[in-house]
C-alpha cells in the first residue's frame, strides 16, 4: 500500500493528520496493522486526557499481540473514535482512515519533527533489512 | 540459521507470513489468522506440523520400556494403530514433554513429540534406553513430513486426494491410525475438530499439500493453530506446563495412570505431591484480551488468592477473550475473578473448558 503524502508519521508507526481547525487526528499505519495481524481490540484514551509526546495513550490488540500506541505530539484529547471499539478490524481494512483519536496540540512545533511520507518510507525500507 | 520443513518453499509461494517458532521458520498465517480459524471450524484447513518429530521405537520389549517411560499406561493400547496422549515426566514429576504414542506392532511403537523439545526428548529417551532396554532401536524420523488436516470436511477432502483412503480410514475411530502405502494416517488433531494427522515422506509433502489446496483445504498457520487449540482447551507445552509443573497441576490428571501397579518415571513424585494448583478456564466479561502471565485475583473462602494465566487470547468462535489460568483448584465454575491487564482490573468468569468443540461453543 502506498503511504499517503498528506499525513505525517512517527518512528513508532502512528500517522498524524493536521485538520483545518488546528487539531490533529491520530491512527496507526498500514505497516503497523500488517505487523500486528487481525485486530480484535482497541483501548482508546478519554476525551480530556492530556499526553506528552511519545507517552503511551492507547492500545491496539490483535489476535497475536498487544501494542501500545504512543502519542505523536503533546496535547489534549478532544474526540475519540468510539465506533472503532466495536469494529477494530476496520484498522486492517483501511488503517489510514481508521482514526483513533483527535488531539488539540499543546506545542505545534512538535509537528515539525515528525516524518513525512518519504521519510517514513525510508524508515520502513531500513526496517526490512 | 532457522530450520525449515519440507514445505518451507510452498508456504512462501502461498504468501505465508513466516516467523521464527522455536528455531523453525514456520507460517504464522497466509493473510488472515481469523479467517483460517473459521475455515477449520466450519470446513477444512491444513497445518504443516513437520517441525514436530516422529520417533520410532523398535525391538523386543518396547511396550515394557514405554510402560516405564511415560505417565499414561500404554497397556491401554491393544489394537494396532491405536494412539494414546501422554506426558513424559522427570523423576520429580515435571513434564518433559507431552506426546502421542502409536502402537503399531509388539516390537514397533511410534511417538510424536513437540518441535521445541525434540532434541531434549530424544536425548532423554536414549538415556533411559541405555539403562533399561539397551537393545531397543530409537530412530528420529526427520525424513518424514507431517500435515494436519482439520475441520468438519477434513476427512472427505483427504479421501479425495489420497487414492483408496476412504475405504482404509472411514472406520477409524478417534485416536486410531492406519498405514496406507507411504501414508500414515491418524484420526487425531489439535483443534477440537475432526480430521487427520498424516505422516508421509518429506519429498512428497509439497505435492500432497498442493493437492489438498486444490481440493479446497485452506492453508492455516501457527496463529490459527494456537487459537483453535486454546478454544479446544488443549495444553501447549512450554506455556501451560513444563518441567517445573506436574501434569496434575495442568489439567492432565486424566492422562496419568496412578491406579495400576506399574511404576513409571515421576510416579512417586506425583503420589507425594500436595499441590492444590490446577488449570481453570476463564472467559473475560469486560472488553480486552487476556494474555499469558497476567495475574488473576480471586476471593477464596474470604481470602484473596492469586493465580496466573498460562495461555490467553481472543477466541474467534466466541468473539470474546478466553484463557487457561493456574490457580487454587478450589475455585469453582461461575466464580467471578479479576485479571490484571496493564493497570486495570478486568472481570472474568471461571468456566469449565473446553470452550469449543466440533464447531460449537460449550460455554
Which chain A positions have a beta carbon within 8 Å of B289's beta carbon?
Answer: 40-41, 61, 66
Which chain B positions have a beta carbon within 8 Å of A37's beta carbon?
Answer: 17, 28-29, 32-33, 223
- Is the CB of residue B310 less than 8 Å from the CB of residue B326? yes
B149 in the same domain as B41 = yes
Q: Is residue B100 part of a domain?
A: no
B159 in the same domain as B44 = yes
pLDDT per position as a tens digit, B254-268: 999 999 999 999 999
We report the CATH number of the domain holding residue B305 as 2.40.30.110
B284 in the same domain as B211 = no
- Is the CB of residue B152 less than 8 Å from the CB of residue B359? yes
- Is the CB of residue B224 less than 8 Å from the CB of residue B192? no
Q: Is A113 exposed, middle or buried (0-12, 13-18, 19+ CB in 10 A)?
A: exposed
The label of the residue with cell 523423576 reads: B91
A1 pLDDT more than 80:
no
Which chain B positions have a beta carbon within 8 Å of A63's beta carbon?
Answer: 33-34, 223, 227, 313-314, 316
B182 in the same domain as B295 = no
pLDDT per position as a tens digit, A46-61: 999 999 999 999 999 9
Average pLDDT of chain B?
A: 97
Rounded Cα distance between A66 and B320, Å, is 15
What is the extent of the structural domain holding B346? 276-358
pLDDT band at B330 (very low <50, low <70, confident <90, very high): confident
Total domains, chain B: 2
Among B231, B286, B288, B311, most A C-beta atoms within 10 A, so best to mutate, is: B288
Instruction: Say what the pLDDT of residue B321 is.
Output: 97
A118 pLDDT more than 70:
yes
Q: What residues in chain B have their Cβ under 8 A from chain A's Cβ atoms?
A: 17, 28-29, 32-34, 223, 227, 287-289, 291, 313-314, 316, 321, 342
Q: Where does a domain end: B200, B231, B262?
A: B231
Q: Is residue A116 part of a domain?
A: no
Q: Is residue A58 part of a domain?
A: yes
pLDDT per position as a tens digit, B136-179: 999 999 999 999 999 999 999 999 999 999 999 999 999 999 99
B282 in the same domain as B343 = yes
A19 pLDDT more than 80:
yes
A129 pLDDT more than 70:
no
pLDDT per position as a tens digit, A62-93: 998 999 999 999 999 999 999 999 999 999 99
Between A and B, how many residue pairs show a Cβ–Cβ distance under 8 A? 36
Which chain A positions have a beta carbon within 8 Å of B321's beta carbon?
Answer: 41
Q: Is residue A66 part of a domain?
A: yes
Q: Is residue B257 part of a domain?
A: no
What is the extent of the structural domain holding A32? 25-107
Q: Is residue B113 part of a domain?
A: no
Chain B nearest-CA distance from A33, in A, is: 12
Q: Kindly determine whether residue A41 and residue B287, on different chains, have CB atoms separated by under 8 Å.
A: yes
Total domains, chain A: 1
We report the CATH number of the domain holding residue A103 as 2.40.50.100
Q: Is residue A99 part of a domain?
A: yes
Q: Is residue A115 part of a domain?
A: no
Q: Is residue A96 part of a domain?
A: yes
Q: Is residue A18 part of a domain?
A: no
**Strands, DSSP E only, in B106-207?**
108-113, 137-140, 144-150, 177-180, 183-186, 195-201
Query: pTM for the complete prediction?
Result: 0.94
Q: Is residue B75 part of a domain?
A: no
Report, in angstroms and rounded to the nearest whole number, the Rg of chain A calculated over CA atoms.
14
Q: Is B4 exposed, middle or buried (0-12, 13-18, 19+ CB in 10 A)?
A: middle
User: What does A61-73 look like in DSSP terms, one character per residue?
Assistant: EESS-EEEEEPSS
Amino acid at each position: 500500500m502506498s503511504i499517503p503524502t498528506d499525513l505525517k508519521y512517527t518512528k513508532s508507526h502512528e500517522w498524524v493528520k493536521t485538520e483545518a481547525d488546528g487539531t490533529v487526528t491520530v491512527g496507526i499505519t498500514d505497516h503497523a496493522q500488517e505487523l500486528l495481524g487481525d485486530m480484535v481490540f482497541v483501548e482508546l484514551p478519554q476525551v480530556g486526557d492530556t499526553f506528552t509526546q511519545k507517552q503511551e495513550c492507547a492500545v491496539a490488540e490483535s489476535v497475536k499481540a498487544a501494542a501500545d500506541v504512543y502519542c505523536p505530539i503533546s496535547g489534549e484529547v478532544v474526540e475519540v473514535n468510539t465506533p472503532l471499539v466495536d469494529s477494530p478490524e476496520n484498522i486492517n481494512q483501511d488503517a489510514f482512515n481508521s482514526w483513533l483519536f483527535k488531539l488539540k496540540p499543546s506545542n505545534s512545533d512538535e509537528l515539525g519533527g515528525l516524518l513525512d511520507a518519504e521519510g517514513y518510507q525510508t524508515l520502513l525500507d531500513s526496517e526490512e533489512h | 540459521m532457522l530450520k525449515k520443513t519440507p514445505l518451507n518453499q510452498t508456504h512462501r509461494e502461498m504468501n505465508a507470513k513466516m516467523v521464527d517458532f522455536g528455531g523453525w521458520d514456520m507460517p504464522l498465517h497466509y493473510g488472515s489468522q481469523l479467517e483460517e480459524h473459521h475455515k477449520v471450524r466450519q470446513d477444512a484447513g491444513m497445518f504443516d506440523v513437520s517441525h514436530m518429530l516422529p520417533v520410532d521405537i523398535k525391538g523386543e520389549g518396547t511396550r515394557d520400556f514405554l510402560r516405564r517411560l511415560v505417565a499414561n499406561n500404554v497397556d491401554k493400547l491393544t489394537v494396532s494403530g491405536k494412539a494414546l496422549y501422554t506426558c513424559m515426566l522427570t523423576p520429580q514429576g515435571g513434564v518433559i514433554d507431552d506426546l502421542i504414542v502409536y502402537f503399531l506392532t509388539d516390537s514397533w511403537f511410534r511417538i510424536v513429540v513437540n518441535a521445541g523439545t525434540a532434541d531434549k526428548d530424544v536425548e532423554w529417551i536414549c538415556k533411559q534406553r541405555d539403562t533399561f532396554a539397551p537393545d531397543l532401536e530409537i530412530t528420529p524420523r526427520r525424513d518424514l513430513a507431517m500435515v494436519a488436516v482439520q475441520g468438519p470436511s477434513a476427512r472427505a477432502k483427504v479421501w479425495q486426494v489420497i487414492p483408496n483412503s476412504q475405504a482404509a480410514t472411514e472406520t477409524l475411530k478417534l485416536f486410531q491410525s492406519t498405514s496406507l502405502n507411504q501414508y500414515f494416517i491418524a484420526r487425531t488433531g489439535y483443534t477440537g475438530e475432526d480430521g487427520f494427522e498424516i505422516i508421509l515422506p518429506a519429498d512428497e509433502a509439497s505435492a500432497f499439500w498442493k493437492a489438498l489446496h486444490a481440493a479446497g483445504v485452506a492453508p492455516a498457520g501457527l496463529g490459527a493453530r494456537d487459537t483453535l487449540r486454546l478454544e479446544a482447551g488443549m495444553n501447549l507445552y512450554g506455556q501451560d506446563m513444563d518441567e517445573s509443573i506436574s501434569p496434575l497441576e495442568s489439567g492432565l490428571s486424566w492422562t496419568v495412570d496412578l491406579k495400576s501397579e506399574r511404576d513409571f518415571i515421576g510416579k512417586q513424585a506425583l503420589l507425594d505431591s500436595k499441590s492444590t494448583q490446577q488449570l481453570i478456564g476463564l472467559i473475560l466479561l469486560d472488553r480486552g484480551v487476556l494474555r499469558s502471565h497476567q495475574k488473576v485475583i480471586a476471593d477464596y473462602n474470604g481470602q484473596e488468592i492469586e493465580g496466573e494465566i498460562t495461555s490467553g487470547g481472543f477466541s474467534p468462535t466466541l468473539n470474546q477473550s478466553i484463557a487457561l489460568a493456574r490457580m487454587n483448584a478450589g475455585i469453582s465454575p461461575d466464580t467471578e475473578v479479576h485479571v490484571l491487564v496493564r493497570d486495570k482490573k478486568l472481570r472474568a468468569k471461571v468456566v469449565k473448558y473446553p470452550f469449543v468443540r466440533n464447531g460449537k461453543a460449550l460455554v
